[in-house]
Chain A
Amino acid sequence: MTALYVLDVPENTPLAKVAAQDPQVTVGRIGPYFEITSAGPIVIDRRATGCRHAVWYSSVAGVARDSHIVQHDKNALRVEPV
């Protein structure tokens, strides 16, 4: 299971929306955080989110221990199971 946490603030809501477009991905909530989970990888395209770089590179609040970030660059955020 891959799990990624993103704080629900106005700048970050496009990330959750783009992540939810993948049918394999579930976007739930835990408190004020989006809990983005998948049995496989989670991939979010930066340009699809429209996030400027300052927002993009500071948008990840947490990554579960059985997951890890394999890509976080100007193109995409990709989190995979360990």
Chain B
Amino acid sequence: MTGMDHRVQGVDHAAFPTFDPAGTVRFYRDVLGFPVVHSICAAGWGPEDHPDFIHFFFDIGNDDRLAFFYYFGTTPWGDSDRGDAYASFGPEVPEYFIRSRHLAIHVDNYDDLMEYRRRLDESQWPVEMQIQHETIESIYTHDPNGYMIELTRAMRPVTPQEDLDANLTIDALLDVVAEPDPSFGKLLARKAELIVQRAADWELTQAGETAGK
């Protein structure tokens, strides 16, 4: 769709700070069973007054990794109990916004999702929610650092038309946010125009590609 080669290969690692390395290791290694696969013990150096730190990695499957930084001698900066080790929020910030940033880890099927539910429910970090979304089912908890962690499985494969729909949504969104006062209603109106312009041709192209296989 972009006309460019798509060469990337998924998440190498996503990194988060922690003030609680013991809880972090208990949660990811001992409760969830994610192996520790890499760590760096580094003396502080550089232009800033950088503390000594440990950078440690858990295998989250598919050769992807979840990494943490523990900085010796540091304590949390935020004074709010809303948020996580990275950021804290005042009472003016709504809960839906705080919950918007999270990490979702994929599992293959319902049995695997329930296995991780069992592991969490037996720990001090039980599952807080289990939700069937539009096409995925997820469990959620917060890790010892306050980070929201989701484990999720697809309830069915994604269909080709959902990729078309996603692209029409984004094109409509870009048009709507370029104008004053963007709204959901304006997006649906713009998207309706794009559906009329492009959806029939897309289906013909799909049919041609299928016939050519």
Contact = CB atoms under 8 A, between A and B. Distances in A.
B135 interface: yes
B50 interface: no
A61 B193 contact: no
Interface in A1-57: 3, 5, 7-11, 30-33, 52, 54-55
A62 B162 contact: no
A5 B192 CA distance: 7
B164 A54 contact: no
Given A9-B161, A68-B185, A32 B203 contact: yes
B22 to A, nearest CB: 37
A7 B189 contact: no
Contacts of B7: none
Interface stretch (B100-108, B126-134, B143-151): B126-134
Contacts of B134: 11, 54-55, 58
Interface residues of A, number: 23
A54 B132 contact: yes
A48 to B, nearest CB: 19
Interface in B162-202: 162, 164-165, 168, 185, 188-189, 191-196, 198-202
Contacts, number: 70
Contact of A61 (B135, B195, B200, B202): B195
Contacts of B185: 63, 68-69
A58 B165 CA distance: 12
A5 B168 CA distance: 12
A64 B192 contact: yes
Nearest to A79: B188
A62 B192 contact: yes
Contacts of B213: none
B155 to A, nearest CB: 9
5 contacts: A10-B156, A31-B195, A32-B161, A58-B134, A65-B193
Given A7-B165, A31-B198, A54-B131, 4 more contacts: A11-B135, A63-B185, A63-B189, A69-B185
